[in-house]
Structure 1
Amino acid sequence: MTAEIETSLGTIRFRFYALDAPETCRNFIKLAGSHFYDGLPFIRVSPGELIQTGAPREDMTAGPGYTIKAEFNGHLHVPGAVAMHRDRYPDSAGSQFYIGLADLPERDYQYTVFGQVTEGMAVVKKIGELDTNGPDGRPIPYRPLENIYITRIAILEPQGQP
């Protein structure tokens, strides 16, 4: 199963690691199916590291109203890894997720990787090159100066599957 993220800069597709992060994948699919992500901006671009979205408020304090249990697994933070953002507590992820631009070994086994980009890495890189308000930016650092939005997320079944 894959997700197709349509953004105002292009489309990104990623495959789910449903066997290794089943609850995280179910949560993402549920949120996407309810249109939770539609219209949300990419709220953080950490240059050379990651792009982040999924917060319904731009101050990054809100989520879906609940959290999910961490599912740390053997998938590493390589370019194109899709992972859940969380607060300082492992079981605090909800809706925010990020896509890696580089190897991020300091995040391995600390954040749940639940997918891998299969198409559209050029779009991820384009978002990752946006100008931001920098490390001291307010209300949040590394906020892109240009708003790039998720217009829709579709969940695609494998061909030949119902």
Structure 2
Amino acid sequence: MRLKIPQFLLALVIVGGLMLGGCSGQQSASNNASPSSNATSAATEASTKTTTEASSVSQNTNSESIPGMKDLPRLEGKATVVMTVKGSPITIEVDGTNAPYTAGNFVDLVQRGVYDGLSFHRVVRQPQPFVAQGGDPKSKDPKTPAQLLGTGGFVDPKTGTERSIPLEIKPKGAQQPVYSKTITEAPVLTHKLGAVAMARSQQPDSASSQFYFALADLAFLDGNYAVFGNVTQGMDVVNKIQQGDRIDSAKVTQGAENLKNGGK
């Protein structure tokens, strides 16, 4: 069923907030963007998606043409991550088959212990279920001002700079994902209830460590944000997450051997 006009406009505002919450330190201009300007960007992007004819997959950028991609962690296959929130486990299947770099980044950060102790700084359930978003390293310090939460990313200790990963979305029927831009084709990994995806700023290649759980089917986000996994057990725990709740721990329980270029 198509969204009614008021629901669609509400969705654009919510998406704008998601983009603001996904800002990385490398995108200072986006960090200072107001929710209204982000919503406008989202509206433009959504309009383009619905009116632009789907482009040929063969013309899309591939990973070999993006500088630094070969050095990023990647997951060759699948892995299982168990994330514990307030003492209760959430089992996540991470899909490196269809999103190798996005999945690899997440598994690498889990293995580094980056998510342990971080909070969910943004949880939206009203007026309709949307997302539970966390993963900002700044949230580890309980003294961090609330207005700064949602602006941080993982700083690689080897380089001293924030790691950013390209937007990575694989269209159905394609041999490999499309990088660094949104798509109009239907993706393999969709924003179904329980999907796990990366937050980002207005810049496509700005995702770092922040992720979100989809609290409902959010098809209007498909093709715009990189889904890399889904909750297989513990959705009841996800549905109870409140803003400010912290991740006790996150552990890779299966598939760690599929991670390449990971480090600690």
Q: TM-score range by the shorter chain?
A: 0.7 to 0.9
Aligned twin of 2:167: 70
Q: Quick one: which amino acid aligns to residue 111 of structure 2?
A: G
Equivalent of 2:137, from 33, 50, 56? Answer: 56
Aligned twin of 2:201: 87
Greater relative contact order structure (CA < 8 Å, 6+ sep): 1
Moved more, 1-10 or 96-105: 1-10
Aligned twin of 1:6: 84
Matches within 5 A, 1:25-44: 25-44=103-122
Q: Quick one: which amino acid aligns to residue 78 of structure 1?
A: K
Q: Quick one: which amino acid aligns to residue 32 of structure 1?
A: V
**CA distance in 1 between partners of 2:254 and 2:151 (Å):** 32
**CA distance in 2 between partners of 1:8 and 1:28 (Å):** 21
Structure 1 unaligned blocks of 5 or more = 131-143
* TM-score for both structures, normalised by structure 2: 0.52
**CA distance in 2 between partners of 1:57 and 1:107 (Å):** 26
TM-fit CA distance, 1:9: 5.1
Equivalent of 2:216, from 87, 102, 115? Answer: 102
**CA distance in 2 between partners of 1:3 and 1:52 (Å):** 17
**CA distance in 2 between partners of 1:9 and 1:46 (Å):** 22
Runs of 4+ in 1 over 3 A off after TM superposition: none
Q: Residue 122 of structure 1: SS of its match in structure 2?
A: helix
The answer to whether the 8 A contact 1:83-1:98 is kept is yes
TM-fit CA distance, 1:25: 1.1
Aligned twin of 2:45: none
The answer to whether the 8 A contact 1:15-1:115 is kept is yes
Equivalent of 1:151, from 239, 248, 261? Answer: 248
Q: Quick one: which amino acid aligns to residue 252 of structure 2?
A: I
**CA distance in 2 between partners of 1:52 and 1:75 (Å):** 18
The answer to whether the 8 A contact 1:9-1:123 is kept is no
* TM-score for both structures, normalised by structure 1: 0.83
The answer to whether the 8 A contact 1:24-1:71 is kept is yes
**CA distance in 1 between partners of 2:121 and 2:220 (Å):** 21
CA RMSD of aligned residues (A): 1.4
**CA distance in 2 between partners of 1:18 and 1:66 (Å):** 18
How many residues are paired up?
142
More strand by share: 1
